[in-house]
């Protein structure tokens, strides 16, 4: 008869491992050296981080009672010797190094590499202001080099649509972390430059120094510097800095901030034009009033100084001058208004709303996402056609893709 195996619960296994750790003398008081990464100071007073070397990493925690006794300031990238015990957390089964004290052991390898490359590129002039290209005020097409599924592209699209829903965004899907990431970032910059966009946003969401390391690679720095198109670097959060931030034409604290910079607010632009029109009218009225007062002053002086028999002659001259002045003022006003109307017509001709009035349409898929090509369509796909006075829901009978 076969012996029946004992079946254990998850809790029993984790609890067994936990007791093994407790009984292991070595793991109850151990010193470990490594580099700090993913450092987080919790509101509870606890400190969490990862201690890593070139081959492995371990999760660490300094609980509040020990954190209050620290005499060393912890920073990502620092190399330390941590003293404490290794334990197993029964509820999740995770292994944690509970740190009781810390000794500073120098700058971590990644931090050292970062500072060395920063110094090298700075000496080569890649960070100099004289090479920074201005960001265009009214771009039509914006290129983005980032991960296609990350929060960065979602934030950029959201902000861009809010500020100007008619601007075009071209995404180059790149790796932003891990092996080969820097090569895809370089390829993305080069590809968008060939396509022809007005400005490029290069970035990703926040992370540890190693998470962001692709944007600290030398090849990425040179690609940004050599680009003929202005580049905005938007890597990480406000406190994160990478080599790309120093090399780019402009650094944005976050991807959302980059979109705010790159995409002009169309409502604000229209308001500025209206204010300019009102200001021009006020200025013209002030000029006319000023010349009228001068004319009245001259008329008064002539009447006071001239004999009665010459007053009529002088008045004729004054009337003639006044008529010429009115003619000239009307001509100036007409010229200024013509220029303003010409500028307004040019702006209106660029407006997507005018294009709708001219018979063009704005097409989205059944989820409301704008369609810029037929790549995502198939037979029987539902599309929404938006025109100047409403919209229509249509079904695709055939999809034909053509190369231009």
Burial of 308 (0-12, 13-18, 19+ CB in 10 A): exposed
Tell me what pLDDT residue 197 has: 96
Question: Which is more confidently placed, 99 or 336?
Answer: 99
Could you tell me which of 149, 199, 198, 157 has the C-alpha nearest to residue 175? 149
pLDDT over 90 (residue 196): yes
Tell me what pLDDT residue 314 has: 67
The model's pLDDT over 163-189, given as tens digits with 9 standing for 90+, comes to 998 899 999 999 998 889 999 999 999
Mean pLDDT of 368-383: 80
Question: Which is more confidently placed, 96 or 356?
Answer: 96
Tell me what pLDDT residue 274 has: 81
Mean pLDDT of 216-240: 90
Distances (CA, A) of 329 to 54, 279, 280, 322, 326: 78, 16, 13, 10, 5
What is residue 234's three-state secondary structure? strand
DSSP state letter for 2:
P
CA 286 – CA 293 distance, rounded (Å): 11
Tell me what pLDDT residue 306 has: 64
pLDDT over 60 (residue 69): yes
Across the chain, what does the average pLDDT equal? 85
CA distance between the termini of the chain: 77
Mean pLDDT of 371-394: 82
pTM over cut 0.75 = no
Answer yes or no: are the C-beta atoms of 46 and 62 closer than 8 Å.
yes
The model's pLDDT over 23-39, given as tens digits with 9 standing for 90+, comes to 787 888 899 999 888 89
Tell me what pLDDT residue 249 has: 96
Percent of the chain with pLDDT over 90: 37
Mean pLDDT of 217-228: 95
Tell me what pLDDT residue 268 has: 74
The model's pLDDT over 146-161, given as tens digits with 9 standing for 90+, comes to 999 989 999 999 999 9
Confidence of residue 285 (pLDDT cuts 50, 70, 90): confident
- Map out the domains of the chain with their CATH numbers: 10-107 (2.40.50.140), 113-264 (3.40.50.261), 267-342 (no CATH), 356-395 (no CATH)
Q: How many residues does the chain have?
A: 404
pLDDT over 60 (residue 123): yes
260: part of which helix (H) or strand (E)? helix 255-262
Distance of CA 157 to the CA centre of its chain: 10
DSSP state letter for 99:
E
The model's pLDDT over 287-331, given as tens digits with 9 standing for 90+, comes to 888 888 888 888 777 776 666 656 666 677 777 777 887 887 888
Percent of the chain with pLDDT over 70: 91
CA 298 – CA 304 distance, rounded (Å): 10
CA 221 – CA 109 distance, rounded (Å): 20
DSSP codes joined into one string, 262-331: HS--HHHHHHHHHHHHHHHHHHHHHHHHHHHHHHHHHHHHHHHHS-HHHHHHHHHHHHHHHHHHHHHHHH
Q: Which residues make beta-bridge pairs with 387? A: 390
CA 64 – CA 85 distance, rounded (Å): 16
């Amino acid at each position: 008869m076969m012996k029946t195996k004992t079946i254990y619960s998850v809790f029993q296994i984790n609890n067994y491992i936990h007791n093994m750790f407790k009984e292991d003398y070595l793991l109850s008081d151990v010193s470990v050296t490594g580099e700090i990464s993913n450092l987080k100071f919790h509101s509870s007073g606890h400190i969490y981080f990862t201690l890593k070397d070139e081959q492995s990493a371990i999760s660490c925690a300094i609980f509040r009672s020990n954190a209050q006794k620290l005499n060393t300031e912890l920073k990502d990238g620092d190399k330390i010797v941590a003293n404490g015990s290794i334990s197993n957390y029964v509820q999740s089964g995770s292994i944690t190094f509970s740190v009781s004290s810390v000794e500073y052991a120098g700058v971590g390898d990644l931090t050292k590499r970062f500072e060395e490359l920063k110094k090298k590129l700075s000496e080569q002039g890649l960070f100099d202001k004289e090479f920074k290209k201005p960001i265009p005020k009214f771009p039509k097409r914006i290129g983005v080099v980032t991960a296609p599924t990350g929060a960065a592209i979602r934030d950029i699209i959201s902000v861009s649509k809010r500020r100007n829903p008619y601007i075009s965004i071209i995404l180059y899907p790149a790796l932003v972390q891990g092996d080969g990431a820097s090569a895809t970032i370089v390829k993305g910059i080069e590809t968008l430059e060939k396509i022809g966009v007005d400005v490029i946003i290069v970035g990703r969401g926040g992370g540890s120094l190693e998470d962001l390391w692709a944007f600290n690679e030398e090849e990425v720095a040179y690609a940004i510097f050599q680009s003929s198109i202005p580049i905005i670097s938007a890597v990480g959060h406000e406190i994160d800095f990478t080599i790309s931030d120093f090399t780019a034409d402009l650094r944005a604290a976050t991807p959302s901030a980059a979109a705010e910079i790159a995409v002009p607010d169309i409502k604000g632009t229209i308001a500025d034009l209206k204010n300019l029109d009102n200001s021009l009218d006020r200025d013209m009225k002030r000029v006319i009033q000023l010349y009228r007062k001068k004319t009245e002053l001259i008329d008064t002086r002539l009447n006071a100084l001239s004999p009665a028999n010459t007053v009529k002659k002088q008045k004729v001259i004054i009337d003639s001058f006044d008529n010429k002045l009115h003619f000239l003022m009307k001509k100036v006003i007409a010229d200024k208004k013509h220029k303003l109307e010409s500028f307004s017509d040019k702006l209106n001709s660029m407006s997507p709303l005018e294009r709708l009035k001219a018979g063009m349409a704005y097409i989205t898929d059944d989820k409301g996402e704008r369609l810029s090509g037929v790549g995502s369509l198939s037979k029987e796909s539902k599309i929404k056609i938006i025109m100047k006075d409403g919209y229509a829901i249509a079904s695709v009978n055939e999809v034909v893709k053509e190369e231009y």
